[in-house]
Amino acid sequence: MRGGQRVSTGARVFSWLRRWAGELAWVSGALGLVSLAGLGAGAGAAHELFVYAVALALVFPPSRRRAAMLLGRRARKRRWREALAGVADGRAAPALVGYKEDALGSWAAVRTGLGGALSDLEARSEALAAWLGAYDVRFERHPSHAGVAVLRALRFDPLEAGTAPWPWLAKASTDLWEPVPVGVDENGREVALSLPWHNLLVGGEPGAGKSVALCQVVAAAALDPSARLWLLDGKLVELAAWAGTAEGTAGSDICEANDVLCRVQEEMEARYRELLAGGLRKVPPGTALHVVVVDELAHYSTWPDKRTRERFCDLLRDLVSRGRAAGVVVVAATQKPGSEVVPTSLRDLFGYRWALRCTTPAASDTILGSGWASEKVSSHTVAAHQRGVGWLHHESARPVRLRAHYLSDPEVASLAKRAEALRSGRQG
């Protein structure tokens, strides 16, 4: 027992020395300099040199701030180690193997201790946040190592910080083969969509920010002079600013919408004939894309005349199911996310789905897919004041929570004018 006690005490001493290694190194270095000065010039001179050094450190603010930052960072790393040890529940504490900080908080790469599991650590995320004095601690498993995770300690919710301007606002032109930035996730990271070979479904109740989210995609397509834009605007006003950049437009008349979809279908068939002649299965990168935007899908999909309504749904379903390989991208949005508006047979064809605030879990699942609400991924929990906040299911296996970038009406007008000038130059 006594030998075991000596080992335990030694381990505690070693752990304490490791936590305070930086501060001890600073003190040892200062004492070493004083000792060297004492050997060369006497103890009195060494004492004076030490006093002058302390005075200089206090007089020059940059040095003082830098020292405070370094010491503060080490203190925060030490706090992380203490927190990991505190939630270990008697097992070996997880090891801190990586650490960095940014304006929102800190990132910690953690490896589980002997006998521990990541699921245990994930279950203690709230306890970690309390220990660290953080707003929240987010958990992310390493993609290829079962014993490593990245923990994100946030000082505040990035989605409450207000909307950020669209990063492509100042670009002279765009290329839709590049990922389009659409928002910021809850870790403060940029979220982008790769549109080629994909389709996007956007849904949310009125005032949730659906138009703001949709506008970024339309702007990116309009500013790509090679892209061909087709606009179906059931409310007449949402896409009106971009009418001058479109190959074809339709308003509230479903017959006009069907005519536009028929034209796109003809373009798709022509593309497939070209692919067949060239021995290709899909369009290569750099090919001009056809972007079909349907704002207020419910206006068309619930049209009173059954025959006309079914014609619209059949055309849209054909473009969504077959158009990807031909370079046809369909972006559809609705503020009535119900099964009668977005049938499952159509929803499941959309590779990307973006659910903004909805009134019920069922409405959120209509966009994201059945079952996500039961896993606490539901836009019905988004607060009413969080305009533009929702869940996006794209490349990742699990939807990500994000806030859409914002484009004001004057910015939209300016971008549309720039896009028209680009396209007139192309036609000239």
Write out pLDDT tens, residues 283-316: 999 999 999 999 999 999 999 999 999 999 999 9
pLDDT for 79: 84
Write out pLDDT tens, residues 334-354: 988 877 788 888 888 999 999
Write out pLDDT tens, residues 381-417: 888 888 889 999 987 778 999 999 989 999 999 999 9
pLDDT for 37: 55
Is 265:319 a contact under the CB 8 Å cutoff?
A: yes
Q: Which of 160, 158, 184, 166 is nearest to 103 (CA)?
A: 158
- Which tokens belong to 258? 């069907």
pLDDT for 269: 97
- Computed over every residue of the chain, the mean pLDDT equals 83
Strand positions, DSSP E, 23-179 = 95-102, 105-111, 136-141, 148-154
Threshold 0.85, pTM exceeds: no
**pLDDT tops 50 at residue 427:** no
User: Per-domain residue ranges for the chain?
Assistant: 164-427
Residue whose tokens read 């849209």:
316
Mean pLDDT of 119-129: 83
Which of 38-47, 77-86, 109-118, 337-346 is predicted least confidently? 38-47
Which residues, in sequence order, are CB contacts of 66 under 8 Å at separation 6+? none
Return the percentage of the chain with pLDDT > 70, whole number: 82
User: Where does 164-427 sit in CATH, by number?
Assistant: 3.40.50.300
Higher pLDDT, residue 32 or 385: 385
Write out pLDDT tens, residues 40-57: 555 566 566 666 555 555
CB-count burial class (<10 Å; 0-12, 13-18, 19+) for 112: buried
Q: Which of 187, 190, 76 is nearest to 138 (CA)?
A: 187
Mean pLDDT of 7-15: 56
pLDDT band at 223 (very low <50, low <70, confident <90, very high): very high
